[in-house]
Structure 1
Amino acid sequence: MTAPAIVLVADGPDDPAVATTLQAIARGLQGARKDLRIHLARLEGVKPPLQKVIASLVAEDVAEAVLVPLDLVSAADHAEELDTFHHSPDIHVVVSRPVGPASELLNILDERVREALHRGGALEIDGLVLGAPAGADVRGNSLLARRARQWSTHHRLPVQLAVDEGDGRVTAAAVASLRAQGRRHIAVGSLFLTPTPAYQSHAQAALRAGAIAVTAPLGDSDHLRHLILARYAFGAMELLDGIPTQLSVEDLDGEES
């Protein structure tokens, strides 16, 4: 039997820039793992819809698929649609944990910060904002706070966490808070996967508030591919034994530390 297919599942608007970024992620993963079938599906009525992607796998006689939610802020929960959509009984589908706010994402943020500083001609920073979209589950919010502390410890700089509702206000407030502490060279790390309107609002608000650099969305990277493949591996294990793979809080702490 062939390996289960990977279906990368993303929500977000029907926007060309978002679609281009997601397609680049799927292509990058396919290039790294030519032995696997990689597909991209979208939620909220955006093409390609999940149901159509699964139907195409059935038409190709694919018997198993793992859905990997491309959600960078939730640690365990996923869209209800992934559990309720109807598909052929000829394919066994499981949903993995979301990518989530894993510690590896800080490595991508470091790269993006360096790129943003280079673009702006900046030489140093004295404060950081970790910006992320709202909508995380309880565990995800806890991990986001931990990532901010880890980033602060790693760089020995104050880090403000900004979980933004999509209008940029929380990001602007985080920058303002650091400026009130006397910080004048503030960079904003954006834990956004694609350039959604929420990301654009977050980035513009940060610059208006006085940040000297704002990172681009994470997009495709080796670190992200490794995380996706790790989530896929757990889902594939469930397909093997038919028993959902459950991780305790202690297991998650160890994995995400």
Structure 2
Amino acid sequence: MTPLVAVAHGSRDPRSAASVAGLLDVVRSRAPGLDVRGAFLDLSAPLLVDVLAGLHGEGHRRVVVAPLLLGRAFHARVDLPALLASVDLPGLSVSVADVLGPSPLLEAAALRRLADVGVTPGDPSVGVVLAATGSSHAPANARVHEVARGWSRRHGWAVAAAFASATTPDVRTAIADLRARGARRIAVASWFLAPGLLPDRVAAEARAAVPDVRIAPPLGNAVEVADLVLERYSTAGADRPRVRT
């Protein structure tokens, strides 16, 4: 089968690479026999260009690169295409899968992470902050707001999007908005794939505003995310792997 190269952004925080490795272990367990490689755009090893060169050296002439990115922001629109354009490996065909979001599978993973910290749908006294990275690309931020509005309609909570960087509202502003809408308890849902500086910033700001806030962990190795990676791989034109149920 065509190898799958799952590429994340990379981070100086070692927890991030460890979280990506854990996710790819789940991907492998869901599709036994599929050659799954991990790679990074920057800051962590191995770098994407090195993984592609290694596959080329092993004799592979076709690969699928699946971005482990939740939205179509700068890294997906600029960084990844620029890196791939710089690769000079004769005969190697690289198909690029779509980013992970938006997807009902991502939402299911985020909701399950909330349930892991005791926050379940149906309690109107709860206000949920849907916390994401934030981008200078407005459509990427709009996707997070769309998810928040959908949760408000479907799950009985007041939900507000918040961002750790690049745009507003921040976490404190989102919490104030939820309280104004009648929320008596606050929870934070994670729209982050892995731990790192920005999820830590979100958690610190939330705890400063609400000491007893419930904070869901990043999506990490959630099985829904693993299945979504395989779905993106398949729709990129690769052979459909047999997924273990």
Query: TM-score under structure 1 normalisation?
Result: 0.82
Deviation at 1:169, TM superposition (A): 7.3
Residues 124 and 142 (structure 1), Cα distance of their counterparts in 2 relative to 1, 3 Å cut: closer
- Give a deviation string over 1:137-173, Cα, whole Å, max 9, x none: 4543332222111111121221111122079970121
* Cα shift readout 1:53-112 (whole Å, capped 9, x = no counterpart): 011111221121111111112287362434323131132112111112322212111211
Q: Do the aligned partners of residues 34 and 235 (structure 1) sit closer, same or farther apart at CA in structure 2, a change above 3 Å counting?
A: same
Match of 1:104 in 2: 105
| Runs of 5+ consecutive residues of structure 2 not aligned to the other structure | 240-245
Q: State the distance in 2 between where 1:78 and 1:34 align.
A: 32
> What pairs up with 1:43-192 in 2 under 5 angstroms?
43-74=41-72, 77=77, 79=79, 80-117=81-118, 125-135=125-135, 137-165=137-165, 170-192=170-192
1-structure distance, mates of 2:173, 2:131: 11
1:72 alignment partner, SS class: coil
Comparing both chains, which one has the higher relative contact order based on Cα–Cα distances under 8 Å and sequence gaps of 6 or more? 2
Structure 1 pair 219/209, CA: closer, same or farther in 2 (3 Å)?
A: same
TM-score with structure 2 length normalisation? 0.85
Post-superposition Cα deviations, 1:220-245, rounded to whole Å, max 9, x if no partner, equal 122112211121112225x9xxxxxx
* Overall identity of the aligned pairs, in %: 28
The 8 Å contact of residues 82 and 95 in structure 1, kept in 2 or not, is answered as: no
Aligned AA for 2:17?
A: A
CA RMSD between the two structures: 2.5
Q: CA deviation at 1:182?
A: 3.5
Q: Is the Cα–Cα contact under 8 Å of residues 9 and 70 in structure 1 kept in the other structure? A: yes
Go from structure 1 to structure 2 and tell me whether the alpha carbon gap of 1:26 and 1:98 turns closer, same or farther (over 3 Å shift): same
Corresponding residue for residue 205 of structure 2: 205
Q: Which position in structure 2 is the counterpart of 1:4?
A: 2
Q: Is the 8 A contact 2:158 2:181 kept in 1?
A: no
Change (3 A) 1:100 1:77: farther
Q: 1:26 to 1:163 in 2, by over 3 A?
A: same
Q: Secondary structure at the match of 1:192?
A: coil
The residue type equivalent to 2:129 in the other structure is V
Whether contact under 8 Å (2:68, 2:100) holds in the other structure is yes
Gaps of 5+ in 1: 240-257
1:38 is aligned with what amino acid? V
Partner secondary structure for residue 127 of structure 1: strand
Structure 2 contact 203–215 (Cα < 8 Å) conserved: yes
Aligned residues: 232
Aligned to 1:251: none
For the residue of structure 2 that corresponds to 1:52, the secondary structure is helix
Change in CA separation of 1:128 and 1:45 when aligned onto 2, cut-off 3 Å: closer
| SS at 2:141 equivalent | helix
Give the AA of the match of 1:146: E
For residue 207 of structure 1, give the secondary structure of its aligned residue in structure 2.
Answer: helix
Residues 124 and 158 in structure 2, CA contact (< 8 A), matched pair in contact too: no
Q: After alignment, is 103-112 or 19-28 more displaced?
A: 103-112
